[in-house]
Amino acid sequence: MSDELLFKDIDEPGLNTLSVYEARGGYAAMRKALSMTPGEVLAELEASGLRGRGGAGFQMGKKVSFLPKGAMDKYLVCNADESEPGTFKDRELMQKNPHLLIEGIVIASYAAGAERSFIYIRGEYVLQADVLDAALAQAREAGYLGERILDSQHSLSLVLHRGAGAYICGEETALLDSLEGKRGNPRLKPPFPANQGLYQGPTLINNVETLSTVPLITAMGGKRYAELGTDTSTGTKLVSVSGHVRRPGNYEIELGIPSREIVYGLAGGPPEGQEIKCWFPGGSSAPVLTPEDLDVPYDFDSLAKAGSMLGSGAIIVVDDSTPIVELALKVAMFYRHESCGKCTPCREGTNWTVKMLQRIDCGEATPMDLDIMASVQDHIIGNCLCVLGDAMAMPIGSMIAKFRGEFEQHIETARMRANLIVPPVPADEQALFAHGAS
Protein backbone atom coordinates (compact mmCIF):
# COMPACT_ATOMS: atom_id res chain seq x y z
CA MET A 1 0.00 0.00 0.00
CA SER A 2 1.45 3.31 -1.02
CA ASP A 3 -0.66 5.37 1.34
CA GLU A 4 1.06 4.54 4.62
CA LEU A 5 0.53 7.70 6.60
CA LEU A 6 1.25 7.34 10.30
CA PHE A 7 3.69 4.49 9.79
CA LYS A 8 5.56 5.95 6.85
CA ASP A 9 9.24 5.10 7.43
CA ILE A 10 8.46 4.65 11.10
CA ASP A 11 11.59 2.63 11.79
CA GLU A 12 13.98 5.07 10.15
CA PRO A 13 16.90 5.39 12.56
CA GLY A 14 16.80 8.66 14.47
CA LEU A 15 13.27 9.59 13.48
CA ASN A 16 12.72 10.54 17.12
CA THR A 17 15.23 13.37 16.77
CA LEU A 18 14.31 16.78 15.46
CA SER A 19 16.92 16.82 12.69
CA VAL A 20 15.76 13.60 11.02
CA TYR A 21 12.13 14.50 11.50
CA GLU A 22 12.64 17.91 9.89
CA ALA A 23 14.69 16.41 7.07
CA ARG A 24 11.66 14.31 6.29
CA GLY A 25 9.50 17.43 6.06
CA GLY A 26 8.47 17.60 9.69
CA TYR A 27 6.93 20.77 11.16
CA ALA A 28 6.05 21.98 7.65
CA ALA A 29 2.39 21.27 8.39
CA MET A 30 2.68 23.38 11.51
CA ARG A 31 4.10 26.30 9.52
CA LYS A 32 1.29 25.91 7.03
CA ALA A 33 -1.33 25.83 9.78
CA LEU A 34 0.07 28.90 11.53
CA SER A 35 -0.14 30.84 8.25
CA MET A 36 -3.85 30.03 8.08
CA THR A 37 -6.53 31.28 10.46
CA PRO A 38 -7.67 28.92 13.25
CA GLY A 39 -11.04 28.72 11.53
CA GLU A 40 -9.45 27.49 8.31
CA VAL A 41 -7.45 24.83 10.15
CA LEU A 42 -10.63 23.70 11.90
CA ALA A 43 -12.47 23.58 8.57
CA GLU A 44 -9.83 21.20 7.22
CA LEU A 45 -10.20 18.96 10.27
CA GLU A 46 -13.96 18.93 9.87
CA ALA A 47 -13.71 18.19 6.15
CA SER A 48 -11.41 15.25 6.87
CA GLY A 49 -14.14 13.48 8.84
CA LEU A 50 -11.44 12.19 11.23
CA ARG A 51 -13.03 10.23 14.04
CA GLY A 52 -11.35 9.93 17.44
CA ARG A 53 -9.01 6.98 17.62
CA GLY A 54 -9.20 6.47 21.37
CA GLY A 55 -12.34 4.40 21.50
CA ALA A 56 -15.51 6.45 21.22
CA GLY A 57 -15.00 7.41 17.58
CA PHE A 58 -16.38 10.92 17.92
CA GLN A 59 -15.61 13.32 15.07
CA MET A 60 -12.56 15.30 16.04
CA GLY A 61 -13.43 18.47 14.13
CA LYS A 62 -16.81 18.60 15.82
CA LYS A 63 -15.19 18.15 19.21
CA VAL A 64 -12.91 21.12 18.58
CA SER A 65 -15.85 23.26 17.44
CA PHE A 66 -17.67 22.58 20.75
CA LEU A 67 -15.12 24.65 22.64
CA PRO A 68 -16.44 28.14 23.41
CA LYS A 69 -14.92 30.97 21.38
CA GLY A 70 -13.25 34.03 22.86
CA ALA A 71 -10.30 34.76 25.08
CA MET A 72 -10.16 32.51 28.15
CA ASP A 73 -7.96 29.81 29.62
CA LYS A 74 -8.49 26.82 27.35
CA TYR A 75 -6.65 23.55 27.58
CA LEU A 76 -5.70 20.72 25.31
CA VAL A 77 -4.99 17.32 26.85
CA CYS A 78 -3.50 14.47 24.91
CA ASN A 79 -4.71 11.15 26.24
CA ALA A 80 -1.71 8.85 26.18
CA ASP A 81 -2.95 6.61 28.98
CA GLU A 82 -3.21 3.69 26.61
CA SER A 83 -4.45 0.92 28.89
CA GLU A 84 -7.17 -0.89 26.99
CA PRO A 85 -6.12 -4.54 26.98
CA GLY A 86 -4.78 -5.42 23.55
CA THR A 87 -3.93 -1.85 22.55
CA PHE A 88 -0.35 -0.76 21.95
CA LYS A 89 -0.47 1.53 18.92
CA ASP A 90 0.13 4.82 20.74
CA ARG A 91 3.20 3.32 22.34
CA GLU A 92 4.70 2.70 18.92
CA LEU A 93 3.88 6.22 17.71
CA MET A 94 5.26 7.99 20.77
CA GLN A 95 8.40 5.92 20.91
CA LYS A 96 9.30 6.18 17.26
CA ASN A 97 7.80 9.44 16.05
CA PRO A 98 7.29 11.76 19.04
CA HIS A 99 7.61 14.95 17.02
CA LEU A 100 4.59 14.03 14.91
CA LEU A 101 2.51 14.08 18.09
CA ILE A 102 3.98 17.37 19.26
CA GLU A 103 3.32 18.94 15.86
CA GLY A 104 -0.26 17.65 15.98
CA ILE A 105 -0.76 19.14 19.42
CA VAL A 106 0.49 22.55 18.26
CA ILE A 107 -1.87 22.54 15.27
CA ALA A 108 -4.89 21.27 17.21
CA SER A 109 -4.35 23.77 20.01
CA TYR A 110 -4.13 26.54 17.42
CA ALA A 111 -7.47 25.46 15.95
CA ALA A 112 -9.03 25.22 19.41
CA GLY A 113 -7.47 28.41 20.77
CA ALA A 114 -5.82 26.58 23.66
CA GLU A 115 -2.59 27.95 25.08
CA ARG A 116 -1.79 25.29 27.64
CA SER A 117 -1.51 21.63 26.80
CA PHE A 118 -0.66 18.42 28.58
CA ILE A 119 0.23 14.90 27.57
CA TYR A 120 -1.04 12.41 30.13
CA ILE A 121 1.06 9.33 29.58
CA ARG A 122 0.61 6.15 31.59
CA GLY A 123 3.33 5.67 34.18
CA GLU A 124 4.34 2.26 32.85
CA TYR A 125 5.54 3.77 29.56
CA VAL A 126 8.92 4.83 30.90
CA LEU A 127 10.83 4.58 27.62
CA GLN A 128 8.14 6.42 25.67
CA ALA A 129 7.94 9.19 28.26
CA ASP A 130 11.72 9.61 28.18
CA VAL A 131 11.66 9.81 24.37
CA LEU A 132 8.90 12.41 24.52
CA ASP A 133 10.75 14.41 27.17
CA ALA A 134 13.80 14.60 24.93
CA ALA A 135 11.69 15.53 21.92
CA LEU A 136 9.89 18.24 23.91
CA ALA A 137 13.20 19.77 24.91
CA GLN A 138 14.29 19.88 21.28
CA ALA A 139 11.00 21.39 20.16
CA ARG A 140 11.18 24.06 22.84
CA GLU A 141 14.71 24.95 21.86
CA ALA A 142 13.72 25.23 18.21
CA GLY A 143 10.91 27.60 19.15
CA TYR A 144 8.10 25.24 18.18
CA LEU A 145 6.71 25.46 21.67
CA GLY A 146 6.53 28.44 23.96
CA GLU A 147 5.65 32.08 23.50
CA ARG A 148 4.61 33.24 20.02
CA ILE A 149 5.57 30.18 18.03
CA LEU A 150 7.48 31.18 14.86
CA ASP A 151 6.42 34.82 15.35
CA SER A 152 2.74 33.97 15.04
CA GLN A 153 0.10 35.01 17.55
CA HIS A 154 -0.05 31.48 18.92
CA SER A 155 1.62 30.51 22.19
CA LEU A 156 1.60 27.07 23.69
CA SER A 157 3.07 25.39 26.74
CA LEU A 158 3.25 21.61 26.76
CA VAL A 159 3.77 19.54 29.90
CA LEU A 160 4.35 15.82 29.97
CA HIS A 161 2.52 14.27 32.90
CA ARG A 162 3.27 10.70 33.95
CA GLY A 163 0.46 8.70 35.48
CA ALA A 164 0.88 5.97 38.05
CA GLY A 165 -0.99 2.96 36.80
CA ALA A 166 -4.78 3.08 36.58
CA TYR A 167 -6.89 1.93 33.63
CA ILE A 168 -9.69 4.29 34.58
CA CYS A 169 -7.48 7.32 33.91
CA GLY A 170 -7.95 6.65 30.20
CA GLU A 171 -11.54 7.78 30.69
CA GLU A 172 -11.45 11.46 29.87
CA THR A 173 -12.98 12.93 33.02
CA ALA A 174 -11.06 10.55 35.29
CA LEU A 175 -7.95 11.60 33.44
CA LEU A 176 -8.73 15.23 34.23
CA ASP A 177 -9.18 14.46 37.92
CA SER A 178 -5.93 12.54 37.92
CA LEU A 179 -4.17 15.40 36.17
CA GLU A 180 -5.49 17.73 38.86
CA GLY A 181 -3.75 15.53 41.41
CA LYS A 182 -6.69 13.55 42.74
CA ARG A 183 -7.83 9.95 42.65
CA GLY A 184 -8.90 9.12 39.13
CA ASN A 185 -12.66 9.14 39.61
CA PRO A 186 -14.85 9.95 36.59
CA ARG A 187 -17.05 13.04 36.73
CA LEU A 188 -20.72 13.48 36.03
CA LYS A 189 -21.41 14.54 32.45
CA PRO A 190 -22.71 17.06 31.47
CA PRO A 191 -20.96 19.47 31.83
CA PHE A 192 -18.72 17.99 29.18
CA PRO A 193 -14.99 18.74 29.22
CA ALA A 194 -15.44 21.02 26.20
CA ASN A 195 -17.22 23.42 28.57
CA GLN A 196 -15.81 22.54 31.98
CA GLY A 197 -12.78 20.35 31.96
CA LEU A 198 -9.32 20.75 33.40
CA TYR A 199 -9.28 23.36 36.20
CA GLN A 200 -12.90 24.02 35.20
CA GLY A 201 -11.77 25.51 31.89
CA PRO A 202 -12.86 24.42 28.40
CA THR A 203 -10.74 21.42 27.48
CA LEU A 204 -10.14 19.45 24.31
CA ILE A 205 -9.11 15.85 24.94
CA ASN A 206 -7.80 13.68 22.13
CA ASN A 207 -5.98 10.42 21.73
CA VAL A 208 -2.35 10.19 20.60
CA GLU A 209 -3.22 8.65 17.25
CA THR A 210 -5.88 11.28 16.55
CA LEU A 211 -3.50 14.14 17.27
CA SER A 212 -0.70 12.48 15.30
CA THR A 213 -2.99 12.39 12.28
CA VAL A 214 -3.64 16.14 12.44
CA PRO A 215 -0.35 17.21 10.77
CA LEU A 216 -0.98 14.73 7.96
CA ILE A 217 -4.47 16.15 7.38
CA THR A 218 -3.15 19.69 7.45
CA ALA A 219 -0.48 18.80 4.92
CA MET A 220 -2.63 16.86 2.49
CA GLY A 221 -5.91 18.71 2.99
CA GLY A 222 -9.04 17.47 4.67
CA LYS A 223 -10.79 16.58 1.43
CA ARG A 224 -8.01 14.32 0.24
CA TYR A 225 -7.81 12.57 3.59
CA ALA A 226 -11.55 11.94 3.48
CA GLU A 227 -11.11 10.03 0.22
CA LEU A 228 -9.33 7.30 2.18
CA GLY A 229 -11.45 4.76 4.00
CA THR A 230 -15.23 4.68 3.85
CA ASP A 231 -17.75 7.54 3.80
CA THR A 232 -18.30 7.58 7.55
CA SER A 233 -14.97 6.13 8.68
CA THR A 234 -12.35 8.09 6.83
CA GLY A 235 -8.64 7.63 6.67
CA THR A 236 -6.26 4.99 7.92
CA LYS A 237 -6.14 3.39 11.34
CA LEU A 238 -3.49 1.66 13.35
CA VAL A 239 -4.63 -1.79 14.38
CA SER A 240 -2.94 -3.72 17.18
CA VAL A 241 -3.32 -7.45 16.64
CA SER A 242 -2.48 -9.79 19.50
CA GLY A 243 -3.37 -13.12 21.05
CA HIS A 244 -3.33 -16.31 19.02
CA VAL A 245 -1.88 -15.02 15.77
CA ARG A 246 1.42 -15.75 14.11
CA ARG A 247 2.57 -12.15 13.63
CA PRO A 248 1.21 -10.01 16.46
CA GLY A 249 1.91 -6.32 16.13
CA ASN A 250 0.75 -2.96 14.85
CA TYR A 251 -0.52 -2.58 11.29
CA GLU A 252 -1.77 0.48 9.47
CA ILE A 253 -4.86 -0.26 7.43
CA GLU A 254 -7.31 1.74 5.39
CA LEU A 255 -10.62 1.66 7.23
CA GLY A 256 -13.22 -0.54 5.57
CA ILE A 257 -11.06 -3.48 4.51
CA PRO A 258 -12.43 -6.91 5.49
CA SER A 259 -11.43 -7.95 9.00
CA ARG A 260 -10.24 -11.27 7.60
CA GLU A 261 -7.56 -9.45 5.69
CA ILE A 262 -6.15 -8.10 8.95
CA VAL A 263 -6.41 -11.26 11.04
CA TYR A 264 -5.30 -13.73 8.37
CA GLY A 265 -3.57 -11.56 5.77
CA LEU A 266 -1.46 -9.27 7.92
CA ALA A 267 -1.22 -11.08 11.24
CA GLY A 268 -1.03 -14.56 9.73
CA GLY A 269 -4.04 -16.10 11.44
CA PRO A 270 -3.97 -18.59 14.32
CA PRO A 271 -1.10 -21.06 14.77
CA GLU A 272 -0.96 -24.23 12.71
CA GLY A 273 -3.79 -26.61 13.44
CA GLN A 274 -5.86 -24.15 15.46
CA GLU A 275 -9.13 -22.47 14.57
CA ILE A 276 -10.37 -19.09 15.73
CA LYS A 277 -12.99 -19.39 18.44
CA CYS A 278 -13.77 -15.71 18.88
CA TRP A 279 -12.11 -12.34 18.51
CA PHE A 280 -12.40 -8.93 20.11
CA PRO A 281 -12.44 -6.32 17.35
CA GLY A 282 -11.73 -3.29 19.56
CA GLY A 283 -9.99 -4.16 22.79
CA SER A 284 -11.33 -6.26 25.65
CA SER A 285 -14.26 -3.86 26.09
CA ALA A 286 -15.78 -4.80 22.76
CA PRO A 287 -18.34 -7.60 22.50
CA VAL A 288 -16.73 -10.70 21.02
CA LEU A 289 -17.37 -11.75 17.45
CA THR A 290 -17.23 -15.23 15.95
CA PRO A 291 -15.23 -16.44 12.90
CA GLU A 292 -18.34 -15.94 10.74
CA ASP A 293 -18.02 -12.21 11.37
CA LEU A 294 -14.53 -12.05 9.89
CA ASP A 295 -15.95 -10.75 6.62
CA VAL A 296 -17.33 -7.63 8.29
CA PRO A 297 -15.52 -4.56 6.96
CA TYR A 298 -13.22 -3.10 9.60
CA ASP A 299 -14.72 0.34 10.18
CA PHE A 300 -16.74 2.08 12.89
CA ASP A 301 -20.24 1.60 11.48
CA SER A 302 -19.93 -1.91 10.04
CA LEU A 303 -18.62 -3.27 13.34
CA ALA A 304 -21.38 -1.47 15.24
CA LYS A 305 -23.91 -3.07 12.91
CA ALA A 306 -22.35 -6.47 13.57
CA GLY A 307 -23.02 -5.94 17.27
CA SER A 308 -19.58 -4.90 18.42
CA MET A 309 -17.34 -1.86 18.11
CA LEU A 310 -14.08 -0.69 16.65
CA GLY A 311 -13.05 0.84 19.96
CA SER A 312 -9.35 1.48 20.14
CA GLY A 313 -8.60 -0.75 17.15
CA ALA A 314 -7.16 -3.65 19.10
CA ILE A 315 -7.91 -7.08 17.72
CA ILE A 316 -7.43 -9.93 20.19
CA VAL A 317 -7.72 -13.34 18.58
CA VAL A 318 -8.65 -16.32 20.73
CA ASP A 319 -8.31 -19.83 19.34
CA ASP A 320 -10.31 -22.91 20.18
CA SER A 321 -7.83 -24.21 22.75
CA THR A 322 -9.03 -21.60 25.26
CA PRO A 323 -12.09 -22.33 27.43
CA ILE A 324 -14.56 -19.47 27.20
CA VAL A 325 -15.08 -19.42 30.99
CA GLU A 326 -11.37 -18.81 31.50
CA LEU A 327 -11.51 -15.93 29.04
CA ALA A 328 -14.58 -14.42 30.68
CA LEU A 329 -12.95 -14.70 34.09
CA LYS A 330 -9.81 -12.89 32.88
CA VAL A 331 -11.93 -10.08 31.46
CA ALA A 332 -14.09 -9.78 34.56
CA MET A 333 -11.13 -9.86 36.97
CA PHE A 334 -9.46 -7.07 35.06
CA TYR A 335 -12.48 -4.80 35.30
CA ARG A 336 -13.02 -5.65 38.95
CA HIS A 337 -9.48 -4.62 39.69
CA GLU A 338 -9.78 -1.42 37.69
CA SER A 339 -13.23 -0.28 38.81
CA CYS A 340 -12.67 2.95 40.74
CA GLY A 341 -15.52 2.13 43.11
CA LYS A 342 -17.46 5.36 42.67
CA CYS A 343 -20.66 3.90 41.17
CA THR A 344 -22.40 0.95 42.79
CA PRO A 345 -23.48 -0.97 39.65
CA CYS A 346 -19.91 -1.14 38.40
CA ARG A 347 -18.19 -1.75 41.74
CA GLU A 348 -20.59 -4.49 42.81
CA GLY A 349 -21.40 -5.79 39.35
CA THR A 350 -17.81 -6.47 38.41
CA ASN A 351 -17.21 -8.15 41.77
CA TRP A 352 -20.27 -10.38 41.53
CA THR A 353 -19.52 -11.34 37.96
CA VAL A 354 -16.09 -12.56 39.02
CA LYS A 355 -17.57 -14.53 41.92
CA MET A 356 -20.19 -16.16 39.72
CA LEU A 357 -17.60 -17.13 37.14
CA GLN A 358 -15.47 -18.64 39.88
CA ARG A 359 -18.52 -20.53 41.06
CA ILE A 360 -18.94 -21.93 37.58
CA ASP A 361 -15.31 -22.91 37.46
CA CYS A 362 -15.40 -24.79 40.75
CA GLY A 363 -18.62 -26.62 40.08
CA GLU A 364 -20.97 -24.82 42.46
CA ALA A 365 -23.08 -23.18 39.76
CA THR A 366 -26.30 -24.12 38.04
CA PRO A 367 -27.45 -23.05 34.55
CA MET A 368 -29.70 -20.50 36.27
CA ASP A 369 -26.56 -18.63 37.32
CA LEU A 370 -26.00 -17.80 33.66
CA ASP A 371 -29.29 -15.91 33.54
CA ILE A 372 -28.49 -14.11 36.76
CA MET A 373 -25.05 -13.22 35.42
CA ALA A 374 -26.56 -11.94 32.19
CA SER A 375 -29.03 -9.82 34.13
CA VAL A 376 -26.20 -8.39 36.25
CA GLN A 377 -24.61 -7.22 33.01
CA ASP A 378 -27.88 -5.63 31.87
CA HIS A 379 -28.10 -3.71 35.12
CA ILE A 380 -24.63 -2.26 34.76
CA ILE A 381 -24.99 -0.90 31.24
CA GLY A 382 -25.94 2.75 31.18
CA ASN A 383 -26.18 3.11 34.95
CA CYS A 384 -22.78 4.54 35.81
CA LEU A 385 -20.91 7.80 35.39
CA CYS A 386 -18.50 6.25 32.92
CA VAL A 387 -18.45 3.21 30.70
CA LEU A 388 -15.95 1.04 32.62
CA GLY A 389 -18.73 -1.19 33.90
CA ASP A 390 -20.29 -1.32 30.45
CA ALA A 391 -16.90 -2.29 29.12
CA MET A 392 -17.09 -5.46 31.17
CA ALA A 393 -20.81 -6.04 30.72
CA MET A 394 -20.71 -5.92 26.92
CA PRO A 395 -18.08 -8.61 26.29
CA ILE A 396 -19.35 -10.86 29.12
CA GLY A 397 -22.93 -10.49 27.92
CA SER A 398 -21.88 -11.34 24.37
CA MET A 399 -19.93 -14.38 25.54
CA ILE A 400 -22.92 -15.74 27.46
CA ALA A 401 -25.18 -15.12 24.46
CA LYS A 402 -22.85 -16.65 21.89
CA PHE A 403 -21.29 -19.49 23.87
CA ARG A 404 -24.09 -20.46 26.21
CA GLY A 405 -23.72 -24.13 25.32
CA GLU A 406 -20.10 -24.12 26.35
CA PHE A 407 -20.85 -22.34 29.62
CA GLU A 408 -23.48 -24.99 30.45
CA GLN A 409 -21.07 -27.74 29.53
CA HIS A 410 -18.43 -26.18 31.76
CA ILE A 411 -20.88 -26.04 34.65
CA GLU A 412 -21.61 -29.74 34.24
CA THR A 413 -18.02 -30.93 33.90
CA ALA A 414 -16.88 -28.74 36.79
CA ARG A 415 -19.62 -30.21 38.93
CA MET A 416 -18.56 -33.73 38.03
CA ARG A 417 -14.94 -32.89 38.70
CA ALA A 418 -15.78 -31.47 42.09
CA ASN A 419 -17.96 -34.47 42.88
CA LEU A 420 -20.96 -32.30 43.57
CA ILE A 421 -23.82 -34.53 42.50
CA VAL A 422 -27.31 -33.07 42.78
CA PRO A 423 -28.95 -35.01 45.62
CA PRO A 424 -31.99 -37.03 44.58
CA VAL A 425 -35.31 -35.78 45.88
CA PRO A 426 -36.52 -37.96 48.78
CA ALA A 427 -39.57 -40.08 48.00
CA ASP A 428 -41.87 -38.37 50.50
CA GLU A 429 -41.13 -34.96 49.03
CA GLN A 430 -41.51 -35.91 45.38
CA ALA A 431 -45.22 -35.20 45.36
CA LEU A 432 -44.53 -31.69 46.61
CA PHE A 433 -42.24 -30.92 43.69
CA ALA A 434 -44.53 -32.52 41.15
CA HIS A 435 -47.31 -30.04 42.03
CA GLY A 436 -44.99 -27.11 42.08
CA ALA A 437 -45.92 -26.25 45.67
CA SER A 438 -43.50 -24.08 47.55
Partner 1 sequence: MTPVPRLGDDARASGWDRATDPEKDPALIPDPATCEVPAQLRETIEAAMARYPDRRSATIPALHAAQSLHGWCSPQALEQVACVMRVTPAYLDSVASFYDMLEQRPVGRHSVYVCTNISCSLRGADALLAAIGEAAAGDEENFNVRSFECLGACDIAPMASVDGVYVGPLSVEDVPQLLDDARSGRPVLPDKQLATRLVADPRANSQEFPAHAVEDGSSR
Amino acid at 427: A
Instruction: Decide: helix, strand or coil at residue 130.
Output: helix
Is residue 237 a contact point for partner 1 (CB under 8 A)?
Answer: no
Give the interface segment with partner 1, choosing from 3-11, 37-45, 296-304, 373-381 (CB under 8 A): 3-11
CA dist., res. 87 & res. 282, Å (int): 8
In whole angstroms, how close is the CB of 265 to partner 1 at the nearest point? 11
Supply the DSSP string of 178-246, one letter for each residue.
HHTTS------SSSPTTTS-GGGS-EEEEEHHHHHHHHHHHHH-HHHHHHSB-SSSBSEEEEEEEES-S
User: Residue 159: helix, strand or coil by DSSP?
Assistant: strand
Residue 87 within binding range of partner 1, rule CB under 8 A: yes
Does the bond joining 426 to the residue before it have cis omega, within 30 degrees of 0?
Answer: no
Q: Are strands 314-319 and 116-121 parallel, antiparallel or unpaired?
A: unpaired
Any contact of residue 210 with partner 1 (CB under 8 A)? no
Which is closer to partner 1, CB of 138 or CB of 285? 285
- Residue among 425, 110, 111, 109 at smallest CA distance from 119: 109
Residue 123 binds to partner 1 (criterion: CB under 8 A)? yes
Tell me how many residues contact partner 1 (CB under 8 A).
Answer: 86
Residue 259 contacts partner 1 per CB under 8 A: no
For position 379 contacting partner 1 by CB under 8 A, the verdict is no
Cβ 390 to partner 1, closest distance in Å? 17
Whose Cβ is closer to partner 1: residue 61's or residue 213's?
A: 213
Query: Could you say whether residue 83 binds partner 1 (CB under 8 A)?
Result: yes
Q: Using CA atoms, how far apart are residues 217 and 47, in angstroms rounded to an integer?
A: 10
Q: State yes or no: residue 159 binds partner 1 (CB under 8 A).
A: yes
Q: Residues 50, 56: contact at Cβ < 8 Å? A: no
Positions in 303-332 near partner 1 (CB under 8 A): 314, 316, 318, 322, 327, 330-331
161 binds partner 1 (CB under 8 A): yes
- For residues 382 and 337, what is the distance between their CA atoms, to the nearest angstrom? 20
Q: Is residue 284 involved in binding partner 1 (CB under 8 A)?
A: yes
Q: Is 359 in the site for partner 1 (CB under 8 A)?
A: yes
Single out the segment in contact with partner 1 by CB under 8 A; choices: 202-210, 221-229, 297-305, 355-363. 355-363
CA-CA distance, 129 to 123, in Å (whole number)? Answer: 8
CB of 129 to partner 1, least distance (A): 9
- Should residue 265 be labelled a site residue for partner 1 when binding is judged by CB under 8 A? no
Q: Is 282 in the site for partner 1 (CB under 8 A)?
A: no
